[in-house]
Amino acid sequence: MRERIENINLSIRKISEKAAKIDDIVRFDIGQPSFDTPEHVKEATKEGLEEKQGYSPMLGLEEMREAVLNEEKQKKGFEGLDLGLENVMVTTGGMGALFAIFSARLGRGDKALFNDPCWGPYKMISEVNGNEWEQVEYWNDDRELRPEAREKIAEADMMVVNTPGNPTGYVLTEDQAREIGECAGENDTFLSLMRSITDWFTGKNITRQQFTQMIQLL
């Protein structure tokens, strides 16, 4: 583990820290929200600090998991899934969730596949976890899955798909969601879906329902 950590490439955070020291610089390095944390979230955090001190359950507070489950069940596109409390886990930040997924699904030497370009920490998590990783451009100019991508998906143990894509903001269409879900299913490749802001999607972009269909294909 120590050797793997020592060999991790330079993080963009170190570059960001240097850039932050320069006056009058416009930063495009981190997707910092342009709005403040809602007041009810702040108040709930304060109450939690006062009332709940000590170790929390491994999967997260049950009342929080129940709230997440109830909200997801009410959303269009999740009606066909048999969701229970055992399907909900709360982590301290997204990185914790990602590391848990990589560790649970991939063994030492197993390969993860990422789009090119992709969010840098995917590679770091793979390296710390002892996994192999590879990048390939998923889509051609016609928004179809590239033949090279199909080959790499067949070779990989897990592939990561997130929409909107980081760092490009690329958003999948319904056809793309179906195509990549079918390809992963045909090759028995675990499909890790990153669905951060689908509540905001409109028009012809992929919706929560298409993500559900992708999951059901597997």
Distance of CA 13 to the CA centre of its chain: 19
Q: What is the pLDDT of residue 31?
A: 67
Task: Give residue 123's domain range.
Answer: 94-218
Residue after which a domain boundary falls, among 90, 109, 138: 90
Q: Is residue 36 part of a domain?
A: no
Q: What is the pLDDT of residue 71?
A: 82
* Same domain (yes/no): 134, 192: yes
pLDDT along the chain (218 residues), means of 10: 67 74 76 80 87 83 90 72 87 87 92 92 89 94 93 93 82 85 87 60 45 48
* Same domain (yes/no): 84, 98: no
CATH number at residue 124: 3.40.640.10
Q: What is the pLDDT of residue 144?
A: 92
Overall number of domains in the chain: 2
Q: What is the pLDDT of residue 76?
A: 62
Residue after which a domain boundary falls, among 37, 72, 90: 90
* Same domain (yes/no): 99, 184: yes
* Same domain (yes/no): 155, 169: yes
Task: List the beta strands (DSSP E) in 60-188.
Answer: 111-115, 132-136, 158-162
In whole angstroms, give the CA distance from residue 58 to residue 184. Answer: 30
* Same domain (yes/no): 135, 210: yes
Q: What is the pLDDT of residue 157?
A: 94
Q: Which amino acid is at 51?
A: E
Question: Whose structure tokens read 């020592």?
Answer: 6
pTM over 0.85: no
Q: Which helix (H) or strand (E) holds 190?
A: strand 190-194
Which among 192, 165, 208 has a CA at the least distance from the CA of 73? 208
* Same domain (yes/no): 207, 115: yes
* Same domain (yes/no): 65, 142: no
Q: Is residue 127 part of a domain?
A: yes
Q: Is residue 180 part of a domain?
A: yes
| Those residues with Cβ within 8 angstroms of residue 154's Cβ, 6 or more apart along the chain or in another chain | 187, 189
* Same domain (yes/no): 172, 201: yes
**Cβ-contact 193, 211 below 8 angstroms:** yes
